[in-house]
Amino acid sequence: MAKELSQINFDFSVPPGTPVPGEKTIGLEKEEEKEFLSGAPVDKLKKTPAKNTRGRKALKDIESEIDLVEVPEDAILFQKQYYSIGEVAGMFKVNTSLIRFWENEFDILEPRKNRKGDRFFKPSDVKNLQMIHDLLRRRKFTIEGAKDFIKKNKQTREKYQMVQSLQKVRAFLTELKANL
């Protein structure tokens, strides 16, 4: 049951730049499309350069993402024993490579690794990551400065948790005030 092949012929007799009926004009504005279809030369095509997503983020981008951290409440967070590195990176809106880097830099992070080498973070590790993220991104500490701060201030976690709870109370009160 072989299908019969048919030959395709190309017509190169049309001069370049001549509009062909039914040809798609992708990326052209309405006026430029009319110019193109009328046969007039189009001088400028509006092309937006592709945004480069590689490399280090700009500080203003980092600052805008600080509020996007979505670590669940403690009651929900402690329902699971372990979180994969992908889930943790999703909570903080960062790459998994950054989480691995922070794990190597900070001694308070001790994720469990399986035989394959996958990292699994306990809820306490997620809370520590939240504190590290706060020190590095919001408070603009350097890596070395954050390490020293954590070593010198053993009660850092307690203070951070207190600040977090006060921020929640403040958000609740401002919402309550707005609804009055």
Comparing 144 with 59, which gets the higher pLDDT? Answer: 144
Q: What is the pLDDT of residue 159?
A: 74
Residues 122-126 have a mean pLDDT of 92
The least confident of 34-43, 126-135, 141-150 is 34-43
10 Cβ contact partners less than 8 Å away, ≥ 6 residues apart: none
Identify the top-confidence range among 55-59, 74-78, 173-177.
173-177
The per-residue pLDDT for range 25-72, each reduced to its tens digit, is 555 556 665 665 666 555 554 556 666 667 677 767 666 666 677 777
103 Cβ contact partners less than 8 Å away, ≥ 6 residues apart: 109, 111, 119
Separation between Cα atoms, residue 90 and residue 96, nearest integer Å: 9
φ, ψ for residue 95, nearest 5 deg: -75, 155
Concatenate the DSSP letters of all residues of 83-111 into one string: EEHHHHHHHHTS-HHHHHHHHHH-TT---
Band (pLDDT 50/70/90 cuts) for residue 153 is: confident
Judge if pTM exceeds 0.85: no
Band (pLDDT 50/70/90 cuts) for residue 180 is: confident
Band (pLDDT 50/70/90 cuts) for residue 122 is: very high
Which bin fits 55, alpha (ψ -120 to 50), beta or left (φ > 0)? left
The least confident of 11-15, 92-96, 120-124, 138-142 is 11-15
Tell me the average pLDDT of the chain: 78
Show the domains of the chain with their CATH numbers: 69-149 (1.10.1660.10)
Identify the top-confidence range among 4-18, 51-65, 93-107.
93-107
Separation between Cα atoms, residue 146 and residue 87, nearest integer Å: 24
41 Cβ contact partners less than 8 Å away, ≥ 6 residues apart: 17, 35
